[in-house]
Structure 1
Amino acid sequence: MTALPDLDRRPSLARLALHRAAIELTGFLRERDAVVFTLALPVVILTLLGSIVDGVYPGSEVTSAQYLAPSMIAAGIASTTFINLGTGIAADRDDGTLRRLRGVPMPPAAYLLGKVLMALVLTIGETVLLLGVAVAAFDLRLPTEPARWLTFGWVFLLGTTACALLGIAASSLARSARSAAAVMNLPYLVLAFISGIFYTPIRALPEPLITVGSLFPLKWMAQGFRSVFLPDTILSQEVVPSWEHGRVALVLAAWCIGGMVLCLTTFRWQGRRGR
């Protein structure tokens, strides 16, 4: 007697998420203009600002361009995750993709994890590209100590996760796909400035702006990456003469938890105009 197939056996959440990530990544890569502009934006900003700013910081051999490079890695991660996920999910909601996906036997978490995994792949490629430009054009020295690369790893994972979750949550603020870019870009640009990304060194910012910027993950991501690629002699240009790795980890982990809570409480599968 032939055994009947197990109809209740379903793919795991991890397998569904990987499958959805492959679909998302394939669809994104087909949009060549989106790929080029997404990966090129932080590289172009680094090249332009790095060519404009000049000088060596007192007491250190670090140039202004080298100080800027690690901060631009943080900005690139935030752009690829927060902005791209926010606008992409808003577009899926606006054109009915989310509504159709809810009708298939796939858990909602698989869709969201697929989006996050796609963003993670893009941020890895973007980071490699940024480091290549920084090394070739501005003589940024890559660390040789394993401990520094370990720091890079946890800052990268925590920062990417936090920004991705915040992008998913913020996607609900846009009333349509057309308005999503403006809604996502405004907070990103404001935080980039008050987090010391485009204004170096960070200790030159007004104290109230430093205080506000310290409440958000971008400032701590940039500080964590600077601790990886820059020597300790540059600490005189930081807000405090320490890399504060414990506080960096605490703030980024807190935003990961907060971002998850925001996703669970604010995420909508249907647009406001569809109610």
Structure 2
Amino acid sequence: MTTPNALTIGGARGVVELKQFFRERDSVVFTFTFPAVLLMMLGSVFDDAGAAGVSGGQVLTASFAAAGIVSTSFVNLGSALAVERDDGTLKRLRSLPMPPVSFFLGKIVLVVVASFAELVLLLAIGVLMFDVALPSDPAAWLTMAWLFALGITSCSLLGIAASSLSRSARSAGAVTTLPYTVLLFISGVYVPLQTVPDWMADVGAVFPVRWLAQGFRAALLPERMAAYEPAGHWELGKAAVILALWCIGGLVLCLTTFRWRSRLTR
């Protein structure tokens, strides 16, 4: 009889995570509707305030593609792990003969599926409501693919690390939602980067949200829109480097900070 390896166990754990996630209807609705509703509202308000023949709704669609990925990885994963630590779920899972890597692989499966579904939903809203034209160039789809991969990896690792900052399940939402909301403002998602004070933009440039949003704008908007970015071009190479560095940094933070038990557990 063949003993299941860590990858096989991780896949099975991913199925369990998906079933548990979709059974919690309130969580599912909030996860998918929060970025979508914001996009519909802001896109409708600023749809006429476009530049270079591109509407505000189209620009917001590209930026919110990044916001959706960060929401389903950093915010939801960080909050969920904090809750599972507080109610003892992580402690019980750690006592099982399951490799820790399999547990995290299961979480990754959940994040990938949820993030992809969120991205499809946001692009559908952009196409139907704001006349967003999906790319016809394979290079643009390739750009979105590596942005998606680096985005969910870096933000998931940061979410895992951030989950250890919560003292209890009650504070889990604030620990992840507050920095997420702030970063959306200073990273060019809610408002153009040109309207953000320089020091705020400099802070935002340190984190993944800025580069994910700018990368998706590069993939989904006409080339002429690059002139409205701070550097006057898309900076895709820089985006890839910064996101990759956050993948490495996030892994280091996870290895040094992640806890299976609550701080309140004696």
Superposition TM-score tier, normalisation by shorter sequence: over 0.9
Match of 1:228 in 2: 219
Q: Would you say the 8 A contact 1:80–1:122 is kept in 2?
A: yes
Q: Would you say the 8 A contact 2:212–2:239 is kept in 1?
A: yes
Percent identity for Structure 1 against Structure 2: 51
Match of 1:149 in 2: 141
Distance apart, 1:56 and its partner CA: 4.8
Match of 1:51 in 2: 44
Q: Which SS does the other structure have where 1:241 is aligned?
A: coil
Give, in whole Å, the separation in 1 of the partners of 2:19 and 2:263. 29
Q: Aligned pair 1:192/2:184, yes or no? A: yes
Provide the TM-score with structure 1 as the length reference. 0.94
Q: Which SS does the other structure have where 1:173 is aligned?
A: coil
Match of 2:57 in 1: 65
Q: Would you say the 8 A contact 1:57–1:234 is kept in 2?
A: no
Q: Aligned pair 1:209/2:200, yes or no? A: yes
Distance apart, 1:62 and its partner CA: 0.7
Aligned pairs for 1:125-204 within 5 A: 125-199=117-191, 201-204=192-195
Q: What do the CA deviations read for 1:181-238 (whole angstroms, capped 9, x no partner)? A: 1111111111111101111x22221111111100000000000000000011112211
Distance apart, 1:10 and its partner CA: 2.6
Match of 1:37 in 2: 30
Give, in whole Å, the separation in 1 of the partners of 2:237 and 2:148. 15
**1:79 aligned partner, one-letter code:** S
Q: What do the CA deviations read for 1:104-162 (whole angstroms, capped 9, x no partner)? A: 11011111121121011001011111111100000001010001100010011101110
Give, in whole Å, the separation in 1 of the partners of 2:47 and 2:118. 25
Give, in whole Å, the separation in 1 of the partners of 2:132 and 2:155. 26
Q: Aligned pair 1:249/2:240, yes or no? A: yes
Give, in whole Å, the separation in 1 of the partners of 2:103 and 2:185. 32
Q: Would you say the 8 A contact 1:158–1:256 is kept in 2?
A: yes
Gaps of 5+ in 2: none
Q: Would you say the 8 A contact 2:47–2:130 is kept in 1?
A: no
**2:132 aligned partner, one-letter code:** L
Give, in whole Å, the separation in 1 of the partners of 2:59 and 2:93. 44
Q: Would you say the 8 A contact 2:39–2:64 is kept in 1?
A: yes
Q: Would you say the 8 A contact 2:208–2:243 is kept in 1?
A: yes
Match of 1:272 in 2: 263
Distance apart, 1:241 and its partner CA: 1.2
Q: Would you say the 8 A contact 1:202–1:238 is kept in 2?
A: yes
Give, in whole Å, the separation in 1 of the partners of 2:175 and 2:232. 36
Provide the TM-score with structure 2 as the length reference. 0.97
Give, in whole Å, the separation in 2 of the partners of 1:245 and 1:237. 15
Give, in whole Å, the separation in 1 of the partners of 2:49 and 2:34. 26
Gaps of 5+ in 1: none
Aligned with 2:4 (options 2, 11, 21): 11
Give, in whole Å, the separation in 1 of the partners of 2:212 and 2:238. 11
